[in-house]
Amino acid sequence: MADVLIIGAGPVGLFMAALLLQDGVEAQVLEQRSAPEPQSRAIGIHPPALAALAGAGVAGDLIAEGVQIRRGMALAGGKCLARMSFAGVSDRFPFVLSLPQARTEAHLERRVNELGDGALHRGVRLTRLSDDGGRVSVEADSGSGTLRYSAPLVIAADGVRSTVRALQGIDLRVKEYPDSYLMGDFADGTGFGPDAALFLSGAGIVESFPLPGRLRRWVVRLGAGDATAGGPATGGPSAGHPSADARWLMRCVRERTGLDIDAGTNSMLSRFGVRTRLARRMVAGRVVMIGDAAHEVSPIGGQGMNLGWLDAAALAPIVSAAVRGQEVGGALKTFERTRLRAAARAARQAEINMALGRPLTDRLLALRNRGIAGVAAVPAVNSLIARRFTMQ
């Protein structure tokens, strides 16, 4: 028995739990994994998300551990085409914070445990759910038997393959893209410091972001002929020959940027394809979907996790009001409309980012790069792009 059951202790479910527990709501979180996920996916935390995280008392710890990216640059042929500063995007957080997702989740989990000792139940996988209009009953597999829970409200933050979404029969709008990427973390020998760099190469974009511990993440857009390079399955961690992939990534970075990375320092490697999956609804009776369960957007642009946190920040006061007995039907409708719109906007932004990174012939590349340099040289346009990029 709880006021609210949250399904999934990824970054979004944990943040949702912290917000509710802090407001005195009895929230319980069910998570199928028995231990935290060590794999690093998201690294970028944008200013609006930092403001929301500050409200749950975690932004300070994240900022203390992360790297503050205050500038980005676009390079081609060894020259800097454009620079972008994030100084004007926010008074409080004029930067994008870079921190591996596993570390972010560790801080959020610590905060949840501080606020509600015993609120997080690991090794518990939701398998069934029924909403009788007054309460939602949930069955979950604990590995040693079936557990039963019941609450007036369920919040599903159970990720892209959401069981809750499937059980509720919620349709998705799905769009597949031809793009795929290989990313890896290496020791940083670039001298770029905390700056982000985009290399606009004809063979496909290379993105490079600072990480804590003097590391750097490299993301390369794979071309058609690169599809067999390395061999790991799309969408997951590198399962095949990680060192061969790291060497491939190193050669690719050298060919496209002229920079050397040391394959021997590789600490993470993952290949991923991209798609958009937007749920047609986020609210179904007494069940609300947030985060990737409601909207998967391409990681190129780095907004997925941030989008989910902003869902949670928008939903928390509505849930608190409902628990206090207030009527929240209208507020939930507004929540659903505005958050679905925000997801569609993030998906469009990611589409633009992916289009800019696709392979081009020399002639088209020269034209496009001149266009980017020209547009970025206009201060008003430059600051508008900086704001869009940082979800303002």
Ligand X SMILES: Cc1cc2nc3c(=O)[nH]c(=O)nc-3n(C[C@H](O)[C@H](O)[C@H](O)COP(=O)(O)OP(=O)(O)OC[C@H]3O[C@@H](n4cnc5c(N)ncnc54)[C@H](O)[C@@H]3O)c2cc1C
Binders in 299-358 for ligand X, by CB under 6 A: 299, 302-306, 308
DSSP string, 320-331: HHHHTT---HHH
Residue at token pair 């393959």: 161
| Residues that contact ligand X, how many (by CB under 6 A) | 34
Least spacing, CB of residue 68 vs ligand X, in Å: 15
Q: Are 295 and 336 in contact (CB under 8 A)?
A: no
- Tokens representing 274 are 């991209």
Residue 42 in contact with ligand X, rule: CB under 6 A: yes
Applying CB under 6 A, which of residues 4, 7, 205, 284 lies at the interface with ligand X? 7
Least spacing, CB of residue 326 vs ligand X, in Å: 27
Least spacing, CB of residue 255 vs ligand X, in Å: 22
Edge-to-edge strand list for the sheet holding 215-221: 79-85, 71-76, 196-199, 206-211, 215-221, 172-187, 268-279, 295-296
Residue 2 in contact with ligand X, rule: CB under 6 A: no
Beta-sheet pairing, 27-31 with 4-7: parallel
Q: Are 154 and 164 in contact (CB under 8 A)?
A: yes
Least spacing, CB of residue 2 vs ligand X, in Å: 15
Beta-sheet pairing, 283-284 with 146-151: unpaired
* CA nearest neighbour of 385 among 95, 85, 94: 85
Residue 288 in contact with ligand X, rule: CB under 6 A: no
CA angle 141, 147, 148 (to 5 degrees): 125
Contact pattern from residue 241 through residue 280 relative to ligand X, giving x for each residue in contact according to CB under 6 A and a dash for the rest? -----------------------------x-x--------
Contact pattern from residue 71 through residue 110 relative to ligand X, giving x for each residue in contact according to CB under 6 A and a dash for the rest? ------------------------------x---------
Q: Which residues bind ligand X (CB under 6 A)?
A: 7-13, 30-33, 37, 41-44, 101, 125-126, 157-159, 163, 270, 272, 291-292, 299, 302-306, 308
